A and B are shown apart, each in its own frame.
Chain A
Amino acid sequence: MNQKENTTPAIELNGLTKHFGDFKAVDGLSLTVRSEEIFGLLGPNGSGKTTIINMISGLSKPTSGEATVLGHNILHDTRVVYAALGSVPQETALYEELNAWTNLSIHATLYGVPRSVRDKKITDMLNLVQLYDRRHSRVSTFSGGMKRRLALARALLHDPLLLYLDEPTLGVDVQSRRAIWNYILDLKKKEGKTVLLTTNYLEEANALCDRIAIIDHGKLVALDTPINLKRRYGDTVMEIETTSSVSAQLSERLRTLPGVSEVIQEDKVLKVTMSADELSVTGQLITIVTQEINIKKISQREPNLEEIFLSLTGSGLRD
């Protein structure tokens, strides 16, 4: 891919819509995925994530709107887009009855990797995901983590600029998950790849993604960096442990502070929930409490994406 394409957005969706009969799976979605960023797509089951991905990858035609990948219209330059896209589907789509090397070899043929460099590239990729020693083993004998790593190696084999990862660590043990995270982060850092991923794990989105789009009912609900999302939509919970029980009047007084949404009193512990945008009231809150009683311990829990997600979509992440 040339230099010009590196400066264009990796993915640009304009009013993307998909109808299945009367059902609107995707409803006028517009967003941009920048070049060389890790972009997370989050949404509950049936939110339209898969349909969006299918349209971006050319497996489904939009009812209306436009999708461009690296400046190429997916409908007009489909094969160019395919060549630039590396894909790791959720179910890995590996030929499990064949060995690891053959899987990569088939991929190399399908993506036009020249024969002269094919063996070296396959070797490099298998080494990258630490599967070179198992190159002659049938994929069906691999663990879930090994299959994911092999699928990642396969997706990288033709040196794509844009990598799409569908639930990259689903069903993978903790060690493999960390390894895969490191691969993904390196893809951006060392290789300058753009990564689009969907994940069920908000911890994963938090650890990997530069920006996250939350989709619900086919619409974009929120789009920002994880930090900004927490700041805008999350609540911080401050736990204040006191030397003796606090009065009901104190709780009432704290509730009147700007940004405080909830105060729960449990014996000698006060749990104060406040908007992440209004953290400036923290000092005021502590002052009010110390006027009445001594504080033994203060702890503050950061808002998490799960809460943000729930507050935005009204449902948990299931898919």
Chain B
Amino acid sequence: MNILRIFPAYSSLLVYLDNGDKDIRSSLTERAFMITSIIIPINFLLLFLLFALTGGQAPTAIVLEDKGPYAQQFLSAMEHSHSFIIQQTTSVDAKTLMKKGQIVAIVTVPANFDSLVRDGNQVQLPVVLNNLDVDFTNDIRRAVPLAITSFYANTFPNQVVIRAHEVDAYSHDTGYIQYLVVSLMVVSIMLGGLLQAGSNAAREYEKGTIKELMLAPASIWAIQIGKILGALLLNSLSAVVMIIVIVFLIGVWPEHWDELFAFVLLLMITFVALGALIGTLIRRRQAVIPLSIGLSIPVFFISGAFGPAEWGDQVTAAITQLQPVYYGIAIFQHAFHNFTTTSTSPAIDGFILAGFAALIVTISAVALSYSRGRGDIH
């Protein structure tokens, strides 16, 4: 009997489907784990979103000792600098807020501000700074002089002769959160894929059921692709929830829905296959979880999550181009905002990502095949 002759292509298809179905059923019986695998990626998305929301602008108290028109115009300049969360208060309250650590800086507009400005005299603007975090400190150091310049440009247009003439690459500005949330979706899909497929693969080794798969005459490819399919379907639950959060809760509407769905699928295949590879190699679910999270976070930071990776240093940009999240972020930014964040076109980025997907699926099947011959499955 030659099983290869009686194991035609449609049987392999059945192996994909039944093996995937089996993994889904197995996962559904472990509800706590299943929920964790869906919740963690969404949690990841929300966590970084909160981080961005809280870290975007410096909370600053402004004490207006002068209520004159120039003082009011200066306040307006500060409010439009996109760098402060302004809280207008008294000197005493400002000091209390600073003491409690609730603000980064106190900017005081002195009582003689209007008269000094009107007479063209120098104005000393006291800025009390809590410089415990250089990121916020530098925000203040940059933004106060910018507010002063804006004040002069608006109040005395003839005195400020240099004007920036802005030409925008895109028709509208995109908020920091709106940009970041797209990158976060990519990394969350990555994390979800790694967790789901990694756990499914590792469970086979933990429970000893891998022997049933390894001793079967079915093709290793069919077995591994079946596992990838199962994890893909489970991972898609997480992806759908993320899309709902991003589109309907945060209000980021995709420019190209077709690209979004195609790239979500491609990205899920890539990372589900990577998860299957990790689970096959590590064989323990307890190890898969921290490794997945540990892998996702640094990749998130170097892959152009906050802005195009090429805007960073050349070495990091070169490194990040060697991994799929970089291309994932690029094509998602295009799908959502019509942005081009890499030197290549979105189509090329998509092809490169498809190449990664094919490569990782292949490596994961080879790893499973290698696992069969190692003789350490007992």
Contacts and interface: CB of A to CB of B under 8 A. Distances in A.
Nearest to B374: A60
Interface in A98-138: 98, 102, 105-107, 109-112, 115
B4 to A, nearest CB: 6
Residue among B22, B215, B373 facing the most chain A CB atoms (10 A cut-off): B215
Given A79-B3, A82-B216, 19 more contacts: A51-B375, A58-B372, A59-B215, A59-B373, A79-B4, A87-B215, A91-B208, A94-B209, A95-B207, A98-B29, A106-B18, A106-B19, A106-B22, A106-B212, A109-B15, A109-B218, A110-B223, A112-B3, A112-B6
B129 interface: no
Contact of A85 (B14, B18, B215): B215
A93 B211 contact: yes
Given A80-B2, A82-B3, A109 B211 contact: no
A57 interface: yes
Interface string B2-21: 11101100010011001100
Interface string B195-228: 0000000000001111111111111000100000
Interface residues of A, number: 39
8 contacts: A80-B4, A89-B208, A94-B212, A95-B207, A106-B22, A109-B15, A112-B217, A115-B14
Interface in A52-84: 54-55, 57-61, 79-80, 82-84
A1 interface: yes
Contact of B11 (A84, A89, A112): A112
Contacts of A154: 212
B90 interface: no
A97 interface: yes
B26 A61 contact: no
Contact of B22 (A2, A18, A83, A95): A95
Nearest to B214: A59
Contacts of B373: 58-61
B378 A80 contact: no
A83 B18 contact: no
Contacts of B256: none
Contacts of A102: 22, 25
B215 A79 contact: no
Interface of B: 1-4, 6-7, 11, 14-15, 18-19, 22, 25-26, 29-30, 207-219, 223, 372-378
Interface of A: 1-2, 5, 18, 50-51, 54-55, 57-61, 79-80, 82-85, 87, 89, 91-98, 102, 105-107, 109-112, 115, 154
A209 to B, nearest CB: 23
Contacts of A91: 208, 211
Given A60-B375, A112-B7, A80 B212 contact: no
Most buried by B among A79, A105, A112: A112
A109 B375 contact: no
A85 to B, nearest CB: 7
Given A82-B215, A89-B208, A109 B14 contact: yes
A58 B216 CA distance: 11
B224 to A, nearest CB: 13
B366 to A, nearest CB: 15
A154 B218 CA distance: 16
Nearest to B13: A109
Contacts of A87: 211, 215
Contacts of B15: 109-110
Contacts of A18: 375
